[in-house]
A = this chain, B = another copy of it.
Amino acid sequence: MPPDALTPDRILEATEEVLRRYGPAKATVVDVARALGVSHGSVYRHFPSKAALREAVTARWLERSEVALAQVAAGAGPAPERLAAWLESLFEAKRHKAGDDPELFATYMVLVGEHSQVVERHVTTLVGQLTEVIEDGVARGEFAAGGPAAEPARAARAAWDATNRFHDPAYAADWASDGIRPAFEAIRALVLTGLGASA
């Protein structure tokens, strides 16, 4: 491959930088093409529209968190500890993205507002990770088999919804507030007890 072959990855890297510089409202495909030194037609050969490019770049940006969270979910410790650490890592990742990468976070919020399949897939992936931790915990006798954890997929979705104050971008303005840490810990404790976590 020649060093400057125009691959989808190179286009997405350039798009991230362009989005960081101009924000989702002002960034254009022409800006991306200019940053790469190619015609906008060359970009369109890989991504048929600005919307497709925006979705692909956001999907890639979200996947980085998904990979990191999958490692937490698949760790070696007891399931309740992994679930606690997973919720912590999720909140940390969202807060980091909102605070330190505001233009890409704004792009993500545009897709949330459009009910994009990228956002739907992201939620499905993360709820799937939670489901596996709960299933594993029930199998090992670390979550009560008789309560809500008996239906791991349903319990995972409930745990996801119950913690939405800490991952739903609608609450992003709240994530730097004073009371957010004790609020997070109180809900996490309620969720873990609700799943019948053995102490």
A contact residues vs B (CB 8 Å cutoff): 147-148, 154-155, 157-159, 161-165, 170-171, 182-183, 186-187, 189-196
Asked whether B183 lies within 8 Å of A161 as measured between CB atoms, the reply is yes
Q: How far is the CA of A165 from the CA of B165 in the complex (A)?
A: 9
- Minimal Cβ-Cβ distance residue in B for A192: B194
Interface SS of chain A: helix, strand, loop or mixed?
helix
Return the contact of A164 from the options B165, B194, B195, B196 (Cβ within 8 A): B165
Can you list 9 A-B contacts (CB < 8 A)? A147-B189, A148-B189, A162-B190, A164-B165, A190-B190, A191-B194, A192-B194, A193-B196, A194-B194
Return the contact of A190 from the options B165, B171, B195 (Cβ within 8 A): B195
Asked whether B157 lies within 8 Å of A183 as measured between CB atoms, the reply is yes
Nearest 9 A/B pairs, CB to CB? A194-B194, A162-B162, A190-B194, A158-B186, A193-B194, A158-B190, A158-B187, A170-B170, A147-B193
Q: How far is the CA of A22 from the CA of B181 in the complex (A)?
A: 41
Q: How far is the CA of A186 from the CA of B196 in the complex (A)?
A: 14
Q: How far is the CA of A145 from the CA of B6 in the complex (A)?
A: 63
- Minimal Cβ-Cβ distance residue in B for A188: B158
Q: Shortest Cβ distance from A157 into chain B, in angstroms?
A: 6
Residues of B within 8 A of A161 (CB): 162, 165, 183, 186-187
Candidate in A148, A183, A194 with the most chain B CB atoms within 10 angstroms: A194
Asked whether A190 lies within 8 Å of B157 as measured between CB atoms, the reply is no
Task: Given contacts A193-B193, A193-B195, list 7 more A-B pairs with CB under 8 A.
Answer: A162-B162, A162-B190, A164-B165, A170-B170, A190-B190, A190-B195, A193-B194
